[in-house]
Amino acid sequence: MESQLLEIEPYQFELNAEAIERAREVVRRTWRYEPVDHVPVSIDIGPECGTTIVAALRHREHWFSSSVRRIERSLRVLLDDYVPWVGPPWAGFFAVPVMLGAPLWWEDDPNAWPAIRDPLVREIDGLALLPEVDPRRDGFMPEVLERLAVARDCFPEEVAVCGVDMTSPLGDVLNLMDQTLFFVSLKRHPEKIHRACQRITDIQIAVQEAALEVVDRDRLTAMSLWPIWRPEHAKVMVSDDVAGIVGPRAWVEFDKPYGERLIARFGGGLTHNCGPQHSVPYLMQDEPPTWGLNCSQRYSRENLPALREELGRRAEERLGRRGHLEVMFERHVALDDMVTGFRELADVLAPDVVAIPYCQVPADGSVGDDELTAFCRAMRARRRRRISSSDLPLNMPPAMTSIQPASVARRRGVAGFMDTSLASHN
């Protein structure tokens, strides 16, 4: 059932600015591998709060009303890890292809996300014929910029704003092309793929600069539509799922240089690749500053030992620091399976790498408020584990010993979360 629409005007919440800043500081300390009481848990209540996903994407008043309800419910049911945010402002995964003329396909399902309907480029020379575009004029970017302005002006300054998705340039080239043509062209027409990536990188930079003219960088959760607040030195996230499709050699040649342009231009960050993680040995570096990876638990489970090695010991040896890992649990995953999955991956990664979980939870009425609060407590609960000096990676800061990994959970339902030991954790 749809809820009543709200007027688009400044809206006030019962916010505790000091608590929000404490939550941000826990994230900063976790990134620096300094002592924290618990690893922060990021929980994203879905956009269908009193509306549908399609309505929230296509109609500004539905988006605004949904955003208000998401924040109000999150403040009510989540624990003190919550940093309020508003967004994403639109289905920004396809911002650049749509600006260039690619049509979107909408399913009949009102809670399905759109996709590119037809490839815009069916012949390799079509890449050179793509039109000149302006994010202030073309595609749905003008609406995105308008919504960013609404978020800036109608929500308190303590509420962070999600940005516009920064798809990797090679990923956008893939979104524009017939897929068979794309993979054949990597081998037969590499120079044309490179020119297209250069062009797309320029457009991506223009898109992000237009967004930064509306919302200050420090107000953003990050320079992407992901609703995960990140420290000030690491606001960039390049969405790079194409890295899970092409091999490491093609990624290093065609993708990495252009993602690095984006990271260098906007001041450091990390990349997203759902998985698998073929190219993680080439990920961490100082110039431009690349801090780690955002990935999907479902598609990266088999890569956890490699992630521990590359973001842990090898990064410490090469760079004198370890990498940051964010792990996504998608909305179709049962809450108890998220808890089990997080504790399992934490044990695989410990003590070398700490991962922040990002959990998508549907807002369709299938998960109640008490279940959400209990789930949040369960994600934060962990056993104490003694870490000896022989367990520590090379040159690991002593502060890391204060971050305790989670145990492997026994399987239990949501009702099992709601016991007195977990309830007292907060």
Q: Per DSSP, what are the bridge partners of residue 417? A: none
**Cα 401 from Cα 403, distance rounded (Å):** 6
102 pLDDT band (50/70/90 cuts)? Answer: very high
Q: How confident is the model at residue 396 (pLDDT cuts 50, 70, 90)?
A: very low
**DSSP alpha helix (H) spans, 296-354:** 297-300, 304-308, 315-319, 335-349
What is the spatial distance between Cα 233 and Cα 269, in angstroms, rounded to a whole number?
7
Residue 78 CB contacts under 8 Å (≥ 6 apart), including other chains: 43, 372, 373, 376
pTM of the predicted protein model: 0.87
Is residue 261 within 8 Å of 201, Cβ to Cβ? yes
Per-residue pLDDT, 91 = 58
**By C-alpha distance, which of 137, 239, 131, 211 is closest to 176?**
131
* Model pLDDT, residue 297: 96
Q: Could you give the count of Cα atoms lying within 13 Å of 62 in the half-sphere of its Cβ?
A: 15
Tokens describing residue 266: 């906007």
Region 26-53: mean pLDDT is: 92
pLDDT of res. 382: 59
If you compute the radius of gyration of the chain from its CA atoms, what whole number of angstroms results? 21
pLDDT tens readout for residues 10-37: 999 999 999 999 999 999 999 999 999 9
Q: Which residue has the higher pLDDT, 113 or 21?
A: 21
Give the range among 12-16, 147-151, 381-385, 420-424 with minimum mean pLDDT.
420-424
Helix, strand, coil tally for the chain in percent (to 5): 50, 10, 40
How far apart are alpha carbons 77 and 359 in whole angstroms? Answer: 14
Domains of the chain: total: 1
149 located within any domain: yes
User: DSSP character for 94?
Assistant: G
**CA 97 – CA 140 distance, rounded (Å):** 10
Residue 43: which of 88, 96, 84, 2 has the closest Cα?
84
- For residue 285, the surrounding DSSP H or E stretch is none
Give a yes or no: residue 334 inside a domain: yes
Q: Is residue 1 part of a domain?
A: no
Report whether 221 contacts 87 (CB < 8 A): yes
Tens of pLDDT, residue by residue over 289-341, are 999 999 999 999 999 999 999 999 999 999 999 999 999 999 999 999 999 99
Q: Compare 362 and 340 and report the one with higher pLDDT.
A: 340
Mean pLDDT taken over the chain:
87
**CATH assignment of the domain containing 349:** 3.20.20.210
What are the C-alpha distances in Å from 47 to residues 144, 147, 199, 364, 405?
16, 15, 33, 9, 31
pLDDT(389) > 90: no
- Work out the pLDDT band at 362, boundaries 50, 70, 90: confident
Give a yes or no: residue 5 inside a domain.
Answer: no
**How large a percentage of the chain has pLDDT more than 70?**
88
> What tokens appear for 158 in the block?
């303590």
Q: Give the closest residue to 227 by CA, choosing from 99, 363, 326.
A: 326
Strand partners, 86: 161
- Tell me the residue range of the domain where 249 lies: 17-423
CA dist 2 and 114 (Å) reads 20
Residue 112 domain-assigned (yes or no)? yes
SS3 293: strand
Domain assignment present for residue 93? The answer is yes
CA distance 16 to 14: 7
Reading the block at residue 299, the tokens are: 């598609």
How many whole angstroms separate alpha carbon 40 and alpha carbon 197?
36
- The verdict on residue 195 lying in a domain is yes
Encode burial over 317-350: b for 16+ CB neighbours within 10 A, e otherwise.
Answer: eeeebbbbbbbbbebebebbebbbbbbbbbbbbb
Average pLDDT value for residue range 379-401? 43
Secondary structure class of 173 (helix, strand, coil): helix
> CB-hemisphere CA count at 13 Å for 63?
19
Per the domain annotation, does 27 fall within a domain?
yes
